[in-house]
Copies of this chain bind each other. A is one copy, B any other.
Amino acid sequence: MKKTLLIALGGNALIRKGQAGSVAEQFENLKMPVRQIARLSERYKIIITHGNGPQVGNLLLQQECCDAVPKLPLEILVAQTQGQIGYMIESTLDSTFMELGINGEKYFISLITYVVVDENDPAFKTPLKPIGPVYTEEQAKTVPYPTRKTVKGYRRVVVSPDPVTVVEKREIRRLIDMDFIVICCGGGGIPVIREGRGFHGVDAVIDKDLVSAKLAEEVAADIFIIATDVPGAVLNYGKPGEKILRSATPDQAAGYLKEGHFPPGTMKPKVEAAMRFVRTCGKRAVISSIGDIEKAVEGERGTEIMCKG
């Protein structure tokens, strides 16, 4: 019986630092993580999740340039990026399996995924997550939504509530039972709130690592890999005594979090996501570089969070 591996791909799987992010660049960049995942699929059931920051930012910017077409709410833009990035990952996987000569044996699909959030989540009170284009102070006063000054300039901020449940979890469970490779939860999932006998989308962005942790829990994954642009979580980041954290229990990680070792918005939500998964199920999470996914699975690289550290 194969174990289940959930791999959350960071933004650098698609766009590397300093790149404009053309489609050709994104396809090229994907080859490196996807080759590792293709090899891992021989020994593990695989779920792939991914971010969408630059892609949804571009769609927001395009919308603002153009008054000729109806503006779409953020939920729809997230759905669009799930289509775009899901296609790019899936077709790269397809080409990789063809190169490896194991194409006909694999089943794999990209799913549209929406994720329930709680309208009473305190996060709804304070939009904190910056998204989309950068404005001058004057422009920021005229745009029809809250903005905040960031290091880059003024940006739109949206709420970032906690994921409550992945709507398609039952489907995803059945798919991995049949050894389908599933690409899902793009951009943290399309955020929806329950309303009577239905859902409706909300202008929010769910953290993709937190939603990946939730899905890993809901499908009972065995290993949760958070693949990013650094080798792991670092203690004393930017200070004397800086060193990579190789292993910690959830409680130790919580202590480091409280001491402020991990920068909010980058490493903090990753450590939080890894801790949450390990606390619910007692299994293993690893934060590693995108080039080290296979080694992270083997326990040879990255920051491991597990109960017996």
Contact, CB under 8 Å: B62 / A69: yes
Q: Is A99 an interface residue (CB 8 A)?
A: yes
The distance from the CB of A230 to the nearest CB of chain B, in whole angstroms, is 26
Contact, CB under 8 Å: A112 / B110: yes
Question: Which chain B residues lie closer than 8 Å to A197 at the CB level?
Answer: 95, 98-99
Q: Point out the residue from B61, B70, B99, B114 that lies within 8 Å of A68, measured CB to CB.
A: B61
Q: Point out the residue from B73, B91, B111 that lies within 8 Å of A110, measured CB to CB.
A: B111
The closest CB in chain B to the CB of A107 belongs to: B171
Contact, CB under 8 Å: B70 / A107: no
Contact, CB under 8 Å: A99 / B66: no
Q: Is A293 an interface residue (CB 8 A)?
A: no
The distance from the CB of A107 to the nearest CB of chain B, in whole angstroms, is 5
| Known interface pairs A62-B63, A79-B83, A84-B79; A70-B109 also in contact (CB < 8 Å) | no
Sort chain A's interface into a size bin. Answer: 35 or more
Q: Is A190 an interface residue (CB 8 A)?
A: yes
Q: Is A299 an interface residue (CB 8 A)?
A: no
Q: Is A32 an interface residue (CB 8 A)?
A: no
Copies of the protein in its oligomer: 2
Contact, CB under 8 Å: B167 / A94: yes
Q: Is A135 an interface residue (CB 8 A)?
A: no
Q: Is A140 an interface residue (CB 8 A)?
A: no
* Distance, CA A27 to CA B190, complexed state (A): 15
Question: Which chain B residues lie closer than 8 Å to A22 at the CB level?
Answer: 70
| Known interface pairs A84-B83, A107-B170, A110-B112; A66-B73 also in contact (CB < 8 Å) | no
The proximity string for A residues 54-93 relative to B, scoring 1 for CB distances below 8 Å and 0 otherwise, is 0000110111011011101101100111111011101100
Top 6 nearest A-B pairs (CB, nearest first) are A83-B83, A95-B198, A65-B66, A79-B87, A80-B80, A110-B112
18 contacts between A and B (CB under 8 A): A21-B70, A58-B69, A59-B80, A61-B66, A61-B69, A62-B63, A62-B69, A66-B66, A68-B133, A72-B84, A79-B84, A79-B88, A83-B83, A91-B114, A95-B197, A95-B198, A107-B174, A109-B171
